[in-house]
Amino acid sequence: MLSLRIDGELLERLRHHAARRGMSVQDYVVRTLVRDDFDERFQTAVEETEKFYGVT
C-alpha cells in the first residue's frame, strides 16, 4: 500500500492526465511509478553492460 499527500493543483493535473488515458488517478500514478522504475533499472543495465565491454 502506498499513501500520498498532494495538493489540490497537482491532483487536478493528475486527474487530467489520467482522464486522457481513460485511467483512474490511482492507476495512472502506479503505472508512472512502474515505468520510471523500469527506465531506471534499464539505464543501470545499459551502464553496467557498457562498463563490462569497456565502452565509454
Domain boundaries, the chain: 8-53
- Residue 22: predicted pLDDT: 97
Question: How much is the pTM?
Answer: 0.65
Query: For the chain, what is the mean pLDDT?
Result: 89
Residue 56: is its pLDDT beyond 70? Answer: no
- Residue 3: predicted pLDDT: 85
Q: State pLDDT tens for residues 15-27.
A: 999 999 999 999 9
Q: State pLDDT tens for residues 34-45.
A: 887 788 888 888
Beta-carbon contacts of 15 under 8 Å, excluding residues fewer than 6 positions away, are 25
The answer to whether the beta carbons of residues 11 and 25 sit under 8 Å apart is yes
